[in-house]
Structure 1
Amino acid sequence: MQQIIKNGELVVETWHLIPKDGSLEGLPNSDDLIVPMALWLEHAHALKARDGGLGVWLAAGEEIEELVDDLQHFQVIALEFPAFTDGRHYSTARLLRERYGYKGEIRAIGDVLRDQLFAMQRCGFDAFAVRPDRDPQAALEGLQDFSVTYQAGADDPRPLFRRRG
């Protein structure tokens, strides 16, 4: 069983990530599914009628603005990083938290490495599926790399001078 990092802890993955070329055919009605954005846009009505949990994942280059009116239907929004050098979804996570007020899980998937986790968390991510060839326990330690931040972030909108007590 794959483990992911969620809310600062290692947990066993319970969600099923449907591949980009997946279809509704044969999908279990009661499992928790994270579907590609294209599948959601094409079959939203049928997916909303399912009994299981529902999430959506966006590939790099897909924009959250296409889903803004549907955010209340998703328990999980997974943002794919095809390469660790592609940071477009850092902005997507901030938009979800700060502009659209999304309170559900924002998960990083794809080429996710330990060195990125702290910055991703500051942008609003709260779950991470690290690359399969990496140790999730070692990656979890990346969330503790820094004890103080100067700038405001999605995780704490106050700059350091406002946090001083």
Structure 2
Amino acid sequence: MQIIKDKQIVDDSWSFVADDEELKDGDISISLARWKKDKQQLLKPNGKIGVRIGPADSVEDIAADLKDIQLIELDFPAFADGRIFSHAWLLRGRYNYQGEIRATGHFMRDQVFYLSRVGVNAFSLEKTEDLPVALSNLNDFSVNYQKSIR
């Protein structure tokens, strides 16, 4: 599968491991609940580790662990939930997270420009055929009223 990362279409090396699935080697992302439960096991070197955060999760729950996490996936369960934008801003602005922040789930292509302004640098779209249009959406506006987090 391909994603947009740092304004380029690239192959995705990550896979999400659901809470009821066995952990595997390689670059994996897991839920925040699983991170809290299995953190010591996940810190062993079997690949890179990412954590998926939903709108109801708290970024503060992983703030102390950000040095050990290479990917934060911000999961949009629905188009109408904007708390993910705040999560991205907090990760970059308050906690100075320098790793990959990826939007995943049910976000719209039209939101990628605004997500990038609050710190998201990667986008996993449901349909890979939408990648070129979403990539062009990153350049929708040349003038901004407010400073970007990045």
TM-score (norm 2): 0.94
- Distance in 2, Cα, partners of 1:133 & 1:91: 26
Contact 1:57 1:80 in 2 (8 A): yes
Task: Give 1:22's aligned amino acid.
Answer: D
CA RMSD after TM alignment: 1.3
Name 1:7's counterpart in structure 2.
Answer: 6
- Distance in 2, Cα, partners of 1:68 & 1:42: 16
Shift of 1:134: 5.6
Name 2:20's counterpart in structure 1.
Answer: 22
Name 2:127's counterpart in structure 1.
Answer: 132
Structure with the greater relative contact order (CA < 8 A, sep ≥ 6): 1 or 2? 2
Q: Mark the structure with the bigger radius of gyration.
A: 1
Shift of 1:122: 0.2
Q: Which runs of 5+ in 1 are unaligned?
A: 156-165
Shift of 1:132: 2.8
Contact 2:79 2:108 in 1 (8 A): yes
Once the two structures are overlaid, the 10-residue window that deviates more, 49-58 or 36-45, is: 49-58
Aligned residues: 150
Runs of 4+ with >4 A deviation: none
Name 1:89's counterpart in structure 2.
Answer: 84
- Distance in 1, Cα, partners of 2:15 & 2:20: 12
TM-score (norm 1): 0.86
- Distance in 2, Cα, partners of 1:127 & 1:7: 6
1:57 counterpart = 2:52: yes
- What are the within-5 Å matches in structure 2 for residues 11-160 of structure 1? 11-19=10-18, 21-23=19-21, 25=22, 27-29=23-25, 31-132=26-127, 135-155=130-150
Q: Which runs of 5+ in 2 are unaligned?
A: none
1:4 and 1:46, CA in 2 relative to 1: closer, same or farther beyond 3 A?
same
Identical aligned residues as a percent? 41
